[in-house]
């Protein structure tokens, strides 16, 4: 059974991995203008702000919410 120090250590490790992943995001522009989840067009403003984005804002938010509830 994990104690508080183990849990805190694991949480810090996950957050650090997440931060490092963000640093390694591709800088190239995604060539697809359609969301890979719903098929709707990804707005130009989103593609300019996050050139690597492959999903629209709504699908990205839904994905992030699901990920938070899984943990």
Q: What is the pLDDT of residues 26-42, one digit of tens each?
A: 655 556 789 999 999 99
Enclosing domain of residue 55:
4-70
User: What's this model's pTM, rounded to 2 decimal places?
Assistant: 0.53
Q: What is the pLDDT of residue 37?
A: 92
Count of the separate structural domains present in the chain: 1
Query: Based on the number of CB atoms within 10 Å of its own CB, is 47 exposed (0-12), middle (13-18) or buried (19 or more)?
Result: middle
What Rg, from alpha-carbon coordinates, does the chain have?
A: 16
């Amino acid at each position: 059974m994990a104690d508080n120090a183990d849990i805190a250590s694991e949480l810090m490790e996950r957050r650090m991995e997440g931060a490092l992943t963000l640093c390694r995001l591709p800088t190239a522009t995604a060539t697809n203008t359609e969301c890979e989840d719903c098929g709707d067009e990804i707005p130009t403003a989103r593609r300019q702000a996050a050139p690597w984005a492959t999903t629209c804002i709504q699908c990205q938010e839904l994905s992030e919410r699901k990920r938070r509830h899984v943990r």
